Amino acid sequence: MPLTLSQLNIYPVKSAAGLSLSQATVEARGLQFDRRWMVADLQGKFMTQRKFPRLALMQVAIEEDELRLEAPDRPALRLPLVPAHLDHIEVEVWGDLTQAVSLGAEAQQWVSDFLQVPCQLVYMPDTAQRPTAHGKLGEDKLVSFADAYPFLLISEASLAHLNDRLEAPVPMNRFRPNLVVSGCEAHAEDSWAQIRVGEIVFELPKGCDRCSIPGVDQATGIQHKEPLKTLATYRRWDSAIWFGQNLLQQNLGQLQVGDRIEVLARK
């Protein structure tokens, strides 16, 4: 069975629900619209499911020129994809300080009411300069509000291998990948150094060390011990639990579900 791109996902609002796409545009910061919005506290510090698992219940849609947010017991919030009035502020993501645009009082009230803590919704403008995690492969690359790298890849076989060990299987959305691959053995992606997906070439600089978010049921916003407890029994080294691979794009273009994947170099 050939290596194939089987899923393509974006997460427009960092730590909120994702969108599955049939095709997407690879831009300088990653997939178009991926994590260009973020919930931050009033001091500008990023907020995620690590402390606010309820963020999983925030549903996101992109419709023509609008971003639509929905959440339980809340009216939908509609915002322009590109803010008309730019109130620039400084925000922080894992120690990185970068430029953002505050999306105003209505959005602030909406997310504050939903999470029941004072917070705000911000957008990363094209002028923001946030580099990827340090390392020679990423010196000239930018990233949006993602943790450190613009792409995360996981194979279907790696998830199946985990689910064989779990009493209750978990879906792929627990791990929030951008690219899902079929047609390889479990954790084959660990050995890849460079791949071509359709017309896009990617470097694989490092694995993804997992935080607590895979323990959050993305349908309920409830935190569980699994699957991290089981993953720790066979995927822990260097004081971390590893699952999936971070990617850096080497060119821009289009990706489409069904694209063939070629391994160009191995580690």
For 78, residues 6+ apart whose C-beta sits below 8 A from its C-beta are 66, 67, 68, 69
CATH 2.40.33.20 domain range(s) in the chain: 4-30+138-266
The answer for 87, left when phi > 0, alpha when psi is -120 to 50, beta otherwise, is beta
Q: What is the C-alpha separation between 204 and 223, in angstroms, rounded? A: 30
What pLDDT score was predicted for residue 175? 99
pLDDT reported for residue 129: 85
Looking at residue 130, its pLDDT comes to: 86
Say what the pLDDT of residue 98 is.
Answer: 93
**Start-to-end C-alpha separation, the chain:** 22
The confidence score (pLDDT) of residue 53 equals: 98
Residue 139: the pLDDT is: 59
**Helix, strand, or coil (residue 160):** helix
Token pair 């047609």 is at which residue? 183
Q: Supply the CATH classification number for the domain 4-30+138-266.
A: 2.40.33.20
30-31 and 96-102 beta bridge pairing: unpaired
DSSP per-residue codes, 78-103: EEESS-SS-EEEEEEETTEEEEEEE-
- Over residues 238-257, the pLDDT tens digits come to 999 999 999 999 999 999 99
**What's the pLDDT score for residue 134?**
54
Averages of pLDDT over runs of 10 residues in the chain (267 residues) are 97 98 97 98 97 98 95 95 85 94 95 98 92 62 93 99 98 99 98 98 96 97 98 96 97 98 98
What confidence score (pLDDT) does residue 1 get? 80
Contacts of 262 (CB under 8 A, 6+ apart): 3, 195, 196
Distance of CA 248 to the CA centre of its chain: 13
